[in-house]
Structure formats: structure tokens, C-alpha cells
Structure 1
Amino acid sequence: MKSFVIFCEGIHDVYFLYRILKKMGFKSFNKKIKDMPSPLNKYFPLLMKDYNYEEYNILNINPLLPFMIKKDDQLILLYAIKGDTRDDNINSIVNAFIDFPSSEEDLGFTKGSNNITETAFIFFYDADDKGINYRITELKRKLSETFRDIENIEHGKFLESENHHNIGCYIFADNTEKGKLEDITLPLMTLENEPLFEDIKIFLEKHDELIPTPQKKHFQKATIGIAGQLTHPGSSNAVILRRSNMITEEKINDSPECNSIIGFFSTFLV
């Protein structure tokens, strides 16, 4: 079985990519940990045993385990790493997978068992106001010691490696090569709901003095949150992106940005 470890900045990225991958035929992978493919059935219990309770309790939400989806012999693990600066999180996960024994004999399973024998690592980041090229440069700098082929990485490209640790990356951006995930999701939600989103814009502008200055840059997130409360009261933006009927399969099909992401996935997923 092939596994693809996808790193995202936040849980909202995870759920949006799930919407994309669901369209491609992937479904939630819900198994007891003891019944998961090796070596996950060994790795996850060890991870739970050594976890930092203070960091992972309900008051400080930071998912310890990935959201998993599967199609045929392809297993995707979607991690939310809480921003683009959590190098420690990324490196610990990457190193754990790289250190996994790859042969069935080493794993202690008989030949033909449904185990993970190959792992690829995919990175999704926002371009923000720094741009795609900056993000790519930072990715190379952070992972140069782990992946010898990282110097050849490009936005929207997947690199195959002889050591079976293939890598790829995709940067969320608008046509200026800057921007973030909301530059994709907000237009999807706004389409066919323009009057609602115009009212939300007026509301936020009217009460601008109540918004703390550091939060004013998150106008798009606020807009998505307000719109989502109509159908999913009390839900976070992540839940809204996963369940909102304002993002439909038809809209995804017609979106150049979504089709670009699907095209990227299609270079390594069957």
C-alpha cells in the first residue's frame, strides 16, 4: 500500500482538500488503530503514549493524529501543523515515516499483507503576501537535510525519488502569485449567494471599530464564518468548509483553482 502524508497549515486546509479528494473518489478511513496497516498500528500507540497532555488536551486543540482517507491501495494522511513555522512537528512526522522498515519481513508480516511499503510527502502552504517563490525557498531551506532532491521542488510539482520518499508541494495563491486558501474558498461560497455576502461585507464595515487591529486582515475568514453560521450554527470555519452546501461539486468542477489542485493530485494519485 502507498501512503501520502499531506502537511497543511490548518485544519480548514485539511477539510477543503478533503472536499477535493472526495470528488476524486477518496473516502474516510475509519478503523481501530490496532486494525490499521502496519506500521501505523505500531506508530500511533507509541505517539499517544509519549504525547504532551498540556499541548493536546481539549483546551488547546491541536490534532495529534491525521485525518485519513483511502481509495484502493492509496492511503492519505492529512496533518494540520498549526501554521507554516512548526518545523518540529513536520520533522518529527517525516522522520518517523522515513524510519519505518519497508520490507514485509522486517515488519513481521507474511508476504502479501496489506502494509505500507512506500510513503510520499506533500506540502500545502499559503503564499500570503510573500509570494509563491518565497514559500518554495523556505521549504527547500527547512527540508534540505531530510530530502536530497528538495532543491528541484517547484509549485504544483511532484518529484519521484529512488529511495521511495517522493515529495511534492502546492502553494495556495491568486493570479498575482500571492494570497491564501480563502482566495479560493470565499469566491466558491459567494457564487450564487452574492446578496448574502454583500450584506456580510456591509455588516463588517459598519462594525469595523469592534474588530481588533491585528484581526482586520482576516476579513475573509470572518466573512466565511458569518455565512456558515446560517446553516451550521456554532461551527468553526473548518467545519463550515467541510460541510457547507455553498461549496458544491458543480462549483468545484467549474473552478480553475480547484482544477489546478486536482491536476496536481492527478500527477501521483490514481
Structure 2
Amino acid sequence: MDNTNALMVFCEGAHDVAFLYQILKHGLGAKRVKGEDRGGLKFSEYPSPLNNFFKTKMENHAAKDLSQDMAKKFFLPDLILEKNGWFIFIFNSGGKTKYENIKLFIKEFSILHNVAGTFAGDAKSIITDVKYLFFYDADEKNIGDVGVWMHDKFSTIEDIEWQLEPWSFSDGNRYAIQSNKAIYIWGGEDEKGTLEDIIYPIYSNCKADLIKLSEEFVDSAFCWDVEGKEPQRVSKIKANKLKALICIAGQGERPGRPLSAIINDNVLGDKDIMTEEPVFKSLVGFLSTFVGFDD
């Protein structure tokens, strides 16, 4: 039985998942994992212990008398990619405040990972090395403040001492690495803001005329007044404006589609321009260093 590695990536939302797909695909050459029937990967095709982990959780939930909305509460990866012996599982947590799902996953997975070789079943490979990566928006806070918040939430997971050391950010860096864990903060040049502050300049360089027209429409059609508003509200309004103008710019290629689809399909990006953008190259370098894809 082969050994493999796993990178567990936890994002706030679908936009993060879509943008990371572009980073991993164009910047690192990662490939989406297909199942034996070329469709989605079946649970039985996951490396141990995930081959039994998700299947058992689904079976346990199915045995209960659940309401219809429980179908949305299974914490499954939105995207699975592979690169040089690493499975990359990307999860959409549904927002910064939805960290309990992540903690439950880490706890349950850690228990099973310790016995992955013993109860591998029909798995073709076993996960040996595991790394955890978190992406969060800075919003109105400083990068260091987000690190403090995350340390507070993840220092312990029930009785497991999981993240005891505080995150340490160097000047000018929006990420911190600690052993097999890392955190990356989305934001603008002032170290505040959201993912949109990163992707908007990239798309502006790729589709300058289209983005300019979209911005003119958004400014004339809607009100984005932030005068006198609290920092949290200001951050949200600015992010919403960027989401609106990117989404509008993408409608010519993807009419009626949401922002996540526009990012995922890369309708506003140009591979040659994107991969030379400093923020894009920085992200690729960070991922390569943390994971060690080329080791």
C-alpha cells in the first residue's frame, strides 16, 4: 500500500476556494483528482483514513431523523487536487465564525489518522504526513489581530492541545508558519480588507478596459457611502463594492453566474499576466515553502 500526504485547507467561503484553485492550477500545476469513473472522487477512493471517515459520518447522519437543511451541514471538501504525492483537500467553512466545524473535523480526523494503517480497509494509500492551512480575511483588523483571534479559537480542541504557541507575523508578511500549521491573511496593501483586495488588482491588469467600465457603472448605479460608519461596516461596504464590480465584469462570459463561478472559471484572468503578478507569485512561493511540494 502506498503512502501519501494531505494538505487540509480551510477557507471562509466559495470565493476563496475558487481563487485557490487558480493559484494551485496555474501557479503550481496541481491537478483536480478524478475518480475511477472520471467523475467525483468516491469516498472509497480517498486515502486512509478518509476513505472510511466521510462515509461513516454520512451513514451516521442518515440513520437519524433529520430535517432537510441538514444536507447542507456535512463538512466535506469542496475541491480535491493532487501535486507531487500530496492530496489537497479544500474546505469551505461558511465564514470566519463557523470554526466549530473545522475543530470537530480536526479532532475526529486526528483520532483516526493515528490508526490509519491498522484500519485502512480497501484504501490504495495511507496518509502519513498532514499539514493544515487556514485562509482568513483581515477585514477591519490588523493581520496580527486575526492571528490572535485564531490562536484563541484553536489553542485547544476539546482535550487536545492543538495550537499552543501564538502566531508570529514578520513585518510585511501576511502569513505565519508553525510546524505543520500555517495561516494566510487576505487583505490590501494596508494589511486590512478581504480576498477581493487581492483579486481586484489582478483582474484590473488582465482586463483593464472591462474593469474600468464595470467600476463606472457600479459607482453611478449604487451608493457605497462609508462616511461616519464604523470600521467593520466600512470594510464590508468596500468588499461588497469590489464583489459587485468583478461580478458585473464577468457577466459577459458567464451571464447570471455568481462571483464564485466567475473566479473559478477565470473569465477575467489571463494566465500569463496573473502568474507574474507579485501577489500571485508570493502566494505560490508561500505554498511551495510551507508544503514542500518539490522536496
TM-score by length of 1: 0.86
**Helix, strand or coil: the match of 2:127?**
coil
Q: 2:178 aligns with which of 154, 159, 162?
A: 159
CA RMSD of aligned residues (A): 2.6
Q: Which moved more, 1:34-43 or 1:247-256?
A: 247-256
Calculate percent identity across the aligned residue pairs: 28
Q: 1:205 offset after TM fit, Å?
A: 2.4
Whether contact under 8 Å (1:231, 1:244) holds in the other structure is no
Q: 1:83 offset after TM fit, Å?
A: 1.0
Q: Deviations over 1:46-95 (max 9, x none)?
A: 222327654354xxx66742111112310111001111111211111111
Letter in structure 2 aligned against 1:29: V
**Helix, strand or coil: the match of 1:151?**
coil
Letter in structure 1 aligned against 2:148: T
Matched, 1:198 2:212: yes
Whether contact under 8 Å (2:138, 2:193) holds in the other structure is yes
Matched, 1:12 2:12: no
**Helix, strand or coil: the match of 1:254?**
coil
Q: Deviations over 1:100-121 (max 9, x none)?
A: 23355422469x9511122211
**Helix, strand or coil: the match of 1:38?**
coil
1:70-109 matches, cutoff 5 A: 70-103=82-115, 105-108=117-120
Change (3 A) 1:56 1:198: farther
How many residues get paired? 260
Q: 1:37 aligns with which of 40, 43, 47?
A: 47
Matched, 1:183 2:197: yes
Letter in structure 1 aligned against 2:176: K
**Helix, strand or coil: the match of 2:47?**
coil
Q: 1:48 aligns with which of 54, 58, 61?
A: 58
**Helix, strand or coil: the match of 2:131?**
strand
Q: 1:247 offset after TM fit, Å?
A: 1.2
Q: 1:129 aligns with which of 134, 140, 146?
A: 140
CA distance in 1 between partners of 2:222 and 2:125 (Å): 55
Q: 1:192 offset after TM fit, Å?
A: 4.3
CA distance in 1 between partners of 2:73 and 2:243 (Å): 19
Whether contact under 8 Å (1:190, 1:197) holds in the other structure is yes
CA distance in 2 between partners of 1:10 and 1:26 (Å): 21
Q: Which moved more, 1:254-263 or 1:12-21?
A: 254-263
**Helix, strand or coil: the match of 2:156?**
coil
Q: Which moved more, 1:213-222 or 1:180-189?
A: 213-222
Q: 1:157 offset after TM fit, Å?
A: 2.8
Letter in structure 1 aligned against 2:110: I
Q: 1:41 offset after TM fit, Å?
A: 1.2
Q: 1:231 offset after TM fit, Å?
A: 0.4
Letter in structure 2 aligned against 1:42: N
TM-score by length of 2: 0.80
Letter in structure 1 aligned against 2:146: R
Letter in structure 2 aligned against 1:4: L
Change (3 A) 1:105 1:196: closer
Q: 1:190 offset after TM fit, Å?
A: 1.7
Letter in structure 1 aligned against 2:112: F
Runs of at least 5 residues in structure 1 that lack an aligned partner in the other structure:
161-165
CA distance in 1 between partners of 2:67 and 2:52 (Å): 20
Whether contact under 8 Å (2:206, 2:273) holds in the other structure is no
Change (3 A) 1:140 1:104: closer
CA distance in 2 between partners of 1:62 and 1:190 (Å): 36
